[in-house]
Amino acid sequence: MRRRLTLLVAATMCLVLLAFLVPLAVLLRTVARDRAVAQAGADAQGLVSVVGTADPESLRVSAEQVAAASGRPITVFLPDGAVLGTPAERTDGVELASRGESLSVDRSDGREILVAVQGRPEGTAVIRTFVPAEELTRGVWRAWLVLAGLGVALLLLGLLVADRLARALTAPIAELATVSHRLARAELSARARPAGPPELREVAGALNHLAGRIQELLRDEREQVADLSHRLRTPLTSLKLESESLADPAEAARITARVDDLERAVTGLIRQARWRGTEGATVAACDATAVVRDRVEFWSVLAEDTDRPVTLDLAETPLPVRVGADELAAAVDALLGNVFAHTPDGTAFGVRLAGRPGGGARLVVTDQGPGLPAGLAGSGVLRRGASAAGSTGLGLDIVRRAATDSGGTMSVSNASPGGALITVDLGPPPEPMNRSRSRSTDGSNHGPAHEMNASYPKTAT
């Protein structure tokens, strides 16, 4: 925008300068020519009284004196054919002037000034002077150079002023764009400085108001999440107390373990919601191999009860990915839960996890069921809330968000010869995974992703 404004001002100034300087240059040339001709005519007119009354000798001396003083040739043609003063040929213009008419004749090498003088007894005499071409244009080129320099100086000055004005206009716009990008990166403390024209100041104020409103909404959301945690902990505590009062110790331990799993899952969801509302949070990372192995082992118990053959192909080395263990576990649970929910008992399924070139991991889940409905094939199944089986339609959206948050992608299609094929690419963490901050996968830190092995999900996602 700044460059376009400068070019626009440059084009406008060039047109204005041409409109003024070109006619002025032509006028200067005309004035210089007229001045030279008028001066030569005045020198010739100074001899008129002498030519009409003086004798030839006195006339010759006067002509030579005028020629020496003016620096240009002065010639007097008498009616009897005598030529006095500067020698010159008798041209057609002289012949025409001898008839009693003063005139000037343009020639290729200059201009000839002829003055007819009547009053001599023998007839009309002619005074001739000549202005060379260089005298007609004397000083014109210098004046044109001065005009050109003035035009260039004005153009540069105009460009400088235009650049300053354009910078004053575009700088607030660039600042608004920078603040918008910072807000998009969740830097909600970013604010725009109202500057520039009134319209831009109004936009800056609106952007600041929007950022403040976003902060208020996130703060309200975090408070609602905190309220939800207290509301859920009360019935969970009551349920735990009820389970501990069961007469059968084994049954009491099983129910208590499931309540503990549910409590940890709720705590993980609350922590995740608070983390997403916090600026400058550390990027989550985990070992995809450990998380996938943990969740497949969990679902393998239910698969054995429903006669579902399970094929597991995992990488032998850790695969760090840019997604938290809770989020990845929820994504794997959503994929495997869909297998149990939408395929009949006895349907085989497989899970394969391998590394990707450049880092990250690729998770592939296949089953030998009926496959995806025709209406949800391709990208249709990835629409949030889309479902043809009566479910919420949120399971695959959880998987999609986990993939996109890690910098990866997700694809869904029907496998050949039958069944569904879901491929999830997970991006690598921005730096080597900090194991002191990430959840341990060897059982030393029992996070939600690794402590749900004792319970089955009640409903598939």
Per-residue model confidence (pLDDT) at position 256: 80
pLDDT > 60? residue 370: yes
Per-residue model confidence (pLDDT) at position 351: 95
What is the average per-residue pLDDT within 105-122?
Answer: 86
What is the average per-residue pLDDT within 139-143?
Answer: 88
Q: Which CATH architecture has domain 283-450?
A: 2-Layer Sandwich (3.30)
Is it true that domain 187-281 has CATH number 3.90.1690?
no
Average model confidence (pLDDT) for the chain? Answer: 80
What is the average per-residue pLDDT within 244-271?
Answer: 75
pLDDT > 60? residue 365: yes
Per-residue model confidence (pLDDT) at position 288: 93
Confidence of residue 364 (pLDDT cuts 50, 70, 90): very high
When mean pLDDT is compared over 111-115, 162-166, 196-200, 448-452, the highest value belongs to 111-115
What is the average per-residue pLDDT within 342-349?
Answer: 90
Per-residue model confidence (pLDDT) at position 325: 87
DSSP letter string over 338-349? HHHHHS-TT--E
φ, ψ of residue 103 in degrees (nearest 5): -160, 175
What is the average per-residue pLDDT within 71-89?
Answer: 87
Per-residue model confidence (pLDDT) at position 226: 65
Identify the residue with better confidence: 355 or 265: 355
Which of 122-136, 280-294, 335-349 has the lowest average pLDDT? 280-294
Cα–Cα distance for residue pair 328/245, rounded to 1 Å: 35
Superfamily (CATH H level) for 2-140? PAS domain (3.30.450.20)
Confidence of residue 455 (pLDDT cuts 50, 70, 90): very low
Per-residue model confidence (pLDDT) at position 164: 84
Cα–Cα distance for residue pair 435/439, rounded to 1 Å: 7
Which of 261-265, 299-303, 367-371 has the lowest average pLDDT? 261-265
pLDDT > 50? residue 53: yes
**310-313 and 110-120 strand pairing:** unpaired
Per-residue model confidence (pLDDT) at position 382: 55
Per-residue CA distances from 352 to 26, 294, 335, 365, 452 (Å): 87, 13, 13, 7, 21
Confidence of residue 413 (pLDDT cuts 50, 70, 90): confident
Cα–Cα distance for residue pair 376/195, rounded to 1 Å: 50
Per-residue model confidence (pLDDT) at position 454: 32
The pTM of this model reads: 0.46
- Would you kindly state where each structural domain of the chain is located, as residue ranges? 2-140, 187-281, 283-450
Per-residue CA distances from 269 to 225, 273, 384, 440, 455 (Å): 9, 6, 19, 18, 18
What is the average per-residue pLDDT within 116-140?
Answer: 86
Per-residue model confidence (pLDDT) at position 394: 64
Per-residue model confidence (pLDDT) at position 220: 80
